[in-house]
Structure 1
């Protein structure tokens, strides 16, 4: 059996398949970002995947794609967590979320953009991934992401820039206790995922001028600062978008791309199902060591 996990900082999708690609079970847990949480926390999250654990001795391969998995230290933290729980593994493959986005969207060259909890962008030349700028994370960048929009909503609410009708709805939905806000931001792990949880407010109030302006500005900054770094590649290659923010704001993205002479080929909310097809068609050798 093969276990596939696709994790952002907010949530992690798990799917267990057989070697023909048949889905045996699936589950969603909170996200695993090894940059923000300890190995013991990672293990506890894995232990929540109950249906998978029932078959743990039959699982031979694990393919984990995740935010924050770009360093060797993070890679080893994830692998160590899985080794402590699964006893019969012959292969563990840990890769960044940007690689999941590529594998889920295309086998040929193209530009791939992530707009989920965080944001990222790359060019895939058909063989390797090329990034003109690194992902700077939720503190320095992440424009257009759930994390970015969560911060913008919170600032506009507490600084009284949000229209009163929206502010009333925002307070009903999230409360206004600063002590609780600061506790979640500064005392608990994964503050980026916490900030991104506010983004749902945007899509429940689409059509309101304030919300539309907020979305337009955030996506415009992402396109201008990051996607346009790949303007040369976009002249001859399609662009694919991955992530819930991109999926629910694709009308805005399409409008902005059209104004620049480009167009999006696809929008994928969750890569996990497409990753099944990729892994089965590119079966890794079981002789590889873990």
Structure 2
């Protein structure tokens, strides 16, 4: 019995695999920059399906692909300690969410993989490992193309009065927040990346409005200009993506990619099904 986890900042998708069956479930996201080991353990214990909770000691290995994994020994220790507190007898194997995306999208073929979810990342994959990665910078320094980046643009447009009046009224009816309250929420949230990403859905829900469409275009254009075009020979590769932002706004993503003369390959909403195929060997 093994577990595979695709851990983003907002949610973690899990796949339980034994000799004859597979089933999926979800928990919240466990980014080690924003939560500690105790929080992870408590959240996992509450969220595990009943049968799995009763047999957690029988899990032989947990392959945990995570946003935040690989940045430091301290961040990895948070993940490992939190997971090991629930799955006492399992080997804990930590890998990056970018490797999860590459394996899900490309299996054992070489190519270009990207994440466009709450956060963003990208890299060249040789069929086994990531060989070249341009750092996205994370929530504070970058994450172009992501939900948090788009959400920050939505928030900024509202608090600065740039948002058209008809959208401003819809925004106020939906969220019931003044600009001052909104700023306070951003700066006091325990998970500001996740909080800001929540406002990307406003742009998505009104994507046919020219203002929201322009924000989505700018989000992806920054992703290509500031990150993708910095890879050597980037136009030689098709770009494959996982994540809700790339998936739900894929028409705009494909349009912007074409403007940068980049071909688009697979676009998946999440990595977990592809990861399951990878670990099962087909």
Normalising by structure 2, we get a TM-score of 0.92
Query: What stretches of structure 2 of length at least 5 have no aligned partner?
Result: none
C-alpha displacement of 1:256 = 2.2
Contact 2:3 2:63 in 1 (8 A): yes
C-alpha displacement of 1:194 = 0.8
Q: How does 1:229-240 map to 2 (within 5 A)?
A: 229-230=230-231, 232-235=233-236, 237-240=237-240
Which residue is equivalent to 1:286? none
C-alpha displacement of 1:87 = 2.5
Which residue is equivalent to 2:46? 48
What is the number of residues matched between the two proteins?
A: 278
C-alpha displacement of 1:183 = 4.8
Q: How does 1:152-171 map to 2 (within 5 A)?
A: 152-171=153-172
**Distance (whole Å) between structure 2 residues aligned to residue 231 and residue 264 of structure 1:** 17
Which residue is equivalent to 1:137? 138
Structure 1 position 151 matched with structure 2 position 152:
yes
Partner of 1:222, secondary structure, is helix
**Distance (whole Å) between structure 2 residues aligned to residue 12 and residue 183 of structure 1:** 27
Structure 1 position 223 matched with structure 2 position 224:
yes
**Distance (whole Å) between structure 2 residues aligned to residue 150 and residue 260 of structure 1:** 23
C-alpha displacement of 1:47 = 1.4
**Distance (whole Å) between structure 2 residues aligned to residue 11 and residue 41 of structure 1:** 14
Partner of 2:231, secondary structure, is helix
Task: For CA contacts below 8 A with separation 6 or more, give which structure has more relative contact order.
Answer: 1
Contact 2:3 2:16 in 1 (8 A): yes
C-alpha displacement of 1:231 = 5.1
Query: What stretches of structure 1 of length at least 5 have no aligned partner?
Result: 283-290
C-alpha displacement of 1:132 = 4.5
**Distance (whole Å) between structure 1 residues aligned to residue 13 and residue 184 of structure 2:** 27
Q: How does 1:6-45 map to 2 (within 5 A)?
A: 6-20=6-20, 22-24=21-23, 26-45=24-43
Contact 1:113 1:227 in 2 (8 A): no
**Distance (whole Å) between structure 2 residues aligned to residue 67 and residue 16 of structure 1:** 20
**Distance (whole Å) between structure 2 residues aligned to residue 199 and residue 207 of structure 1:** 14
Structure 1 position 269 matched with structure 2 position 264:
no
**Superposed CA RMSD:** 1.8
Q: Which piece of structure 1 moves more, 217-226 or 130-139? A: 130-139
Q: Which piece of structure 1 moves more, 219-228 or 54-63? A: 54-63
**Distance (whole Å) between structure 2 residues aligned to residue 243 and residue 163 of structure 1:** 28
